[in-house]
Amino acid sequence: MYYLLGIEKNLETIAVVSKSFLKLPSKEASFKELKEAYFSFTKYVQPDIPHFSSEEEQINFVEGGDLLDQLINLFLDNNNLSPPKISGYDFKKIYDDMLLKRKFQLIKNSLDVHKKNNLEHYFLVQLLFSYIFLIQSEGLSCATNPKAMGLLLMDHKEWGIGDICEMFIHETAHQLVSLDEYRHGHYLNLLELSKPENYAISAIRKVKRPLNKVIHSLIVAFEIFAYRNSVAKLNMTVKVHPKTSELKKQIVDAIESIVREKHLITLLTPRANLILELIEQKMLSS
């Protein structure tokens, strides 16, 4: 959404959802107050997420304790599965302190690189995320949950800084899409989304998925595509997403899978249709 709409439109959406929770006049609000107002909104719509109040104004890196269990529980497929699963993949908690410290340092270094590459996007990452935590898994790279805004789960693998920066782009896009949905609404009938006849091709996974997931995937894929075009020097080392040429094809295939099925278009609000058209236009001109 950042590359699709620009910083001002995204700040406008954050302002609309945060305004009711701001404790000071707008002109007096520091970053800390802005962040607290935003997280008061997320707490309002999602009461199960842990309350966030950071004295340091930064993202918290959660190494263990009850808070880590609470965060992991919000991502579990089902509390009773053994071994526990997230999106169908087995996972384990990490107990190795040295490994955690090393991984968190790499993520902090990546944030510094991200700040140098794109200060506006870095600002959005700092504003929209409250907690980052690590797990071990075979299939996952990272995850966010629209039911638990602000939480970023990352896995323990040996990612490079370029990969982690793309994860920030990927997951921030999900957060911004969800906020845009809260502001404008994207779907005319939520019950229709889970019907297989209303599936389309995901621009990230290349398989049929519910329409809401496909719209998210299109925006995420476009954001990665646009990010790479703006920060070309990182392209060579990134392995977390496909090559740019493949990504471009996946975006085109996903758009086609929606527009060729007229009934799918009728499930989208004018706002979601506008987003689809914007991506189409920008891809044509790329």
What is the contact surface with another protein in residues (CB under 8 A)? 7-8, 11-12, 14-20, 22, 26-27, 29-31, 34, 44-46, 75, 86-87, 89, 119-120, 123, 127, 139-147, 157, 167, 170-171, 174, 178, 181-183, 185, 187, 190, 193-194, 204-207, 209-210, 212-213, 216, 239-242
Q: How far is the CB of 228 from another protein (least distance, A)?
A: 15
Nearer to another protein, 52 or 159 (CB): 159
If 0-12 CB within 10 Å is exposed, 13-18 middle and 19+ buried, where does residue 285 land? exposed
**What residues contact residue 136 under an 8 Å CB cut-off, 6+ apart?**
91, 92, 93, 94, 155, 156
Residue pair 241/187 in contact (Cβ under 8 Å)? The answer is no
Q: How far is the CB of 68 from another protein (least distance, A)?
A: 17
Nearer to another protein, 61 or 182 (CB): 182
Q: How far is the CB of 254 from another protein (least distance, A)?
A: 12
Nearer to another protein, 61 or 123 (CB): 123
Q: How far is the CB of 224 from another protein (least distance, A)?
A: 11
Residue pair 253/203 in contact (Cβ under 8 Å)? The answer is yes
* Tokens found for residue 278: 């914007």
Cα separation of 64 and 109, whole Å? 21
Nearer to another protein, 97 or 120 (CB): 120
Q: What is the DSSP letter of 187?
A: B
Cα separation of 176 and 128, whole Å? 9
Q: How far is the CB of 120 from another protein (least distance, A)?
A: 7
> How far, in whole angstroms, is CA 82 from its chain's centroid?
27
Nearer to another protein, 51 or 157 (CB): 157
